[in-house]
Structure 1
Amino acid sequence: MNDHVLRTVQRLSLLLLPVLVPQILRVKKRTPRLSEAAGAVGGVPGAEPALRLLVVGDSMAAGVGVPHHSAGLAGRLADRWAAETGRSVSWQVVARGGATAESTARKLAKGPVASPDLVIVVVGINDLLRYRGLRNWRRDLEVLIATVRDRLGTAPPLVFCGLPPVGRFPALPQPLRAALGLRAQRMDRALRACAAANGAFCVPLPADAMADEPRVFFAADRFHPSARGYAEIADGFLAVTRDALRTSGARRPLGS
């Protein structure tokens, strides 16, 4: 579906706001509140020098859905890289539930962050649920990219996680699922365009796995990934992060 059609359908969906708003409130009320994962700093042993990961963003970056980051995105990706390279991999997670692109930039601007070799950014779902305008969304992403590079320099590559295929989320009723799904597609296109224009990377989420095996892919809240879900997502990140690190390797040795 091209962007013009998406935009038109999206505008028509706004007519459903009297139905959508109560659905959003009911979903928030009924969805179980899961804790963020423990172990925001950790690693996988191996040869030195270590590959250093920084994972920032919202509740998925914060590992909601699993008890410890070793089973979340940071830990699963560290496992993949340690297995592929034989090197040790460390991670630091700077994330919280409910975070937006704008609030993530503010948090990074203020808090201490270790110098990484690779930055993973997970934002968007809360901007979607708050109906952040696309123009503001693009500006927030540009500010976030600029903030990361101001804090860390241009050497560590940035890899964004794409918007989830909300149109397939089992926790969302219709027509809310369809309306948010269409908007998520537009936001995802804007994210990919912004990342490409700023020399960053973007990884799509495994939509088929989410839709075909929701009982194993999602945690108890049917909204955040389970341990199996995070493993699937990490698999999708591996090839893109490999390209990203290869690009940065021309600028500096890893772990330097």
Structure 2
Amino acid sequence: MRHTLATIGLGPLLLLQGRHVRRVTPRLPEADGEREGEIGQGPPLRLLIAGDSAAAGVGAKQQAEALSGRLATLLAPDFRVRWKLVATTGHTTAQALQQLRELPRAAYDVVVTSLGVNDVTGLTPTRLWLQQQRQLVNLLREQFQARHILLSALPPMHVFPALPQPLRWYLGSQARRYNLGLRDWASQHADCEFLAAEFPGDLELMASDGFHPGPGAYALWAEQLAARIRQRWSTR
């Protein structure tokens, strides 16, 4: 109810602030580098990373210092990692679903997703977004035989320096609703895991646009994902 009232009461201001942010925020490119490869030694681990600009490495210059490269490197001492990145800047969950549907069938042991920020800024209702997340998980199970699905939480949009108030509060509140719903749903499914990566309150970890992770944030995110993956797969 509070969110609905805020939408009505603050609507014109939020719209103006949103347009201003889009106009003045620098557009950073996706990280350069390979989007699939094989690295490491040990038991095989097939890894898919899918999602939006954060998955694509916006805020880092090279994939090696973005999520995919750091995660594969961290897992390499324990596994022979065959990894693939499927991510596009600006993608909503619905767009990521369509992108994945167009890929050939394959098999992955672990899938990491990063989606939701563009759904928040696109004002996708929470119920619809959670429905799309369920569709995404079903697709990963059926088309990609995913055995362990790590659903990354939305970042703390309520502290993004690129967003002015009250837009920052408004989008941050919606991101929290998404996270709560996704966490509760994931807890009911043994093959799914919700990961709310923990970051210190250091804005220097962010990219220069004040909106995306920087290399430091990618490193922390990858470390926490790697720990979850090792915990589940090292005993298999």
Q: Give me the TM-score of the superposition, normalised by structure 2.
A: 0.91
| Contact map agreement 1:54 1:116 (CA 8 A) in 2 | yes
- 2:180 is the counterpart of 1:185: no
CA distance in 2, matches of 1:35, 1:162: 22
| Contact map agreement 1:105 1:148 (CA 8 A) in 2 | no
| Contact map agreement 1:65 1:227 (CA 8 A) in 2 | yes
CA distance in 1, matches of 2:106, 2:42: 17
Counterpart in the other structure of 2:227? 239
| Contact map agreement 1:75 1:91 (CA 8 A) in 2 | no
Please state how far the C-alpha of 1:101 moved relative to its aligned partner: 1.3
Please state how far the C-alpha of 1:12 moved relative to its aligned partner: 2.8
CA distance in 1, matches of 2:38, 2:213: 21
Describe the SS at the equivalent of 2:47: strand
Residue 16 of structure 2: which of 17, 22, 27 is its match?
Answer: 22
Counterpart in the other structure of 2:27? 33
- 2:164 is the counterpart of 1:176: no
Describe the SS at the equivalent of 1:60: helix
Q: Which amino acid aligns with 2:51?
A: G
| Contact map agreement 1:52 1:117 (CA 8 A) in 2 | yes
CA distance in 1, matches of 2:168, 2:125: 18
Please state how far the C-alpha of 1:196 moved relative to its aligned partner: 2.2
Q: Any stretches of 5+ residues in structure 1 without a counterpart?
A: 1-7, 250-256
Counterpart in the other structure of 1:115? 107
Q: Which amino acid aligns with 1:214?
A: L
| Contact map agreement 1:92 1:114 (CA 8 A) in 2 | no
Q: CA RMSD in A?
A: 1.8
- 2:55 is the counterpart of 1:61: yes
Q: Deviations over 1:221-252 (max 9, x none)?
A: 111111111001112223322344368x3xxx
Residue 145 of structure 2: which of 153, 156, 173 is its match?
Answer: 153
Residue 71 of structure 1: which of 65, 71, 85 is its match?
Answer: 65
How many residue pairs align between the two structures?
233
Counterpart in the other structure of 2:194? 202
Describe the SS at the equivalent of 1:105: helix
| Contact map agreement 2:150 2:195 (CA 8 A) in 1 | yes
- 2:155 is the counterpart of 1:164: yes
Please state how far the C-alpha of 1:190 moved relative to its aligned partner: 1.0
Counterpart in the other structure of 1:143? 135
| Contact map agreement 1:161 1:204 (CA 8 A) in 2 | yes
Moved more, 30-39 or 55-64: 30-39
Q: Which amino acid aligns with 1:240?
A: R
Describe the SS at the equivalent of 1:61: helix
Please state how far the C-alpha of 1:69 moved relative to its aligned partner: 1.5
Counterpart in the other structure of 1:126? 118
Counterpart in the other structure of 1:42? 37
CA distance in 1, matches of 2:137, 2:188: 11
Please state how far the C-alpha of 1:61 moved relative to its aligned partner: 0.7
CA distance in 2, matches of 1:112, 1:71: 28
Q: Any stretches of 5+ residues in structure 2 without a counterpart?
A: none
Residue 12 of structure 1: which of 5, 21, 27 is its match?
Answer: 5
